[in-house]
Amino acid sequence: MTKRIVVYGSYVAKKPVFQRYWKRRVDGIKQRYWKKTTRYKKVVVSSGRYEFYGKGRDLYGAIWLAHQIMPNGYVVVSAAEFLAHPEKYGTGGFWIDKEVESL
């Protein structure tokens, strides 16, 4: 397996706000559902990481982009793929200075 460049830390991410609603099913049971709203809330995530592999130029671009796009959990992706579709692997936010394990 190739060597990978890791970008990790704690961050504040923008997550969509979900709103609950109830609907009566055909069998008469009232069931709770969640719908995505257009609003966003800021959430502090204690640990997240990107693992990039690829060529130097792509790696530079991916790391530059990783400063603005926070990972959705632990992401292992090729730098070229991340540059092509960054929205698939993360959301907006910013990194914060907080103690984090190298997990």
Partner 1 sequence: MTKKLNPCSPIFGLSDDEAVMVDFDNVSFKTIKYWAFRTMKFHKLEGFIILRSSKGCYHVVFNRSVDWSENMRIVAWIALLSNNKGLQKYHLLQCIKESSTLRMSTKKQKPSPRIVYRYGKQNTQIRCFLQYRKLIKNIIKKIAKNLCDKA
Site membership for partner 1, residue 67 (CB under 8 A)? yes
The span from the CA of 42 to the CA of 83, in Å, is 24
Q: What is the DSSP string of 33-51?
A: EEEEEEEEEEEEEEEEEEE
Site membership for partner 1, residue 64 (CB under 8 A)? yes
**Choice from 15, 51, 80, 81 touching partner 1 (CB under 8 A):** 51
Cα→Cα distances 47→34, 72, 84, 86, Å: 26, 10, 24, 19
Q: Which C-beta is closer to partner 1: that of 40 or that of 95?
A: 95
Beta carbon of residue 88, minimum distance to partner 1 (angstroms, whole number): 19
Site membership for partner 1, residue 60 (CB under 8 A)? yes
- The size of the interface with partner 1 (CB under 8 A), counted in residues, is 27
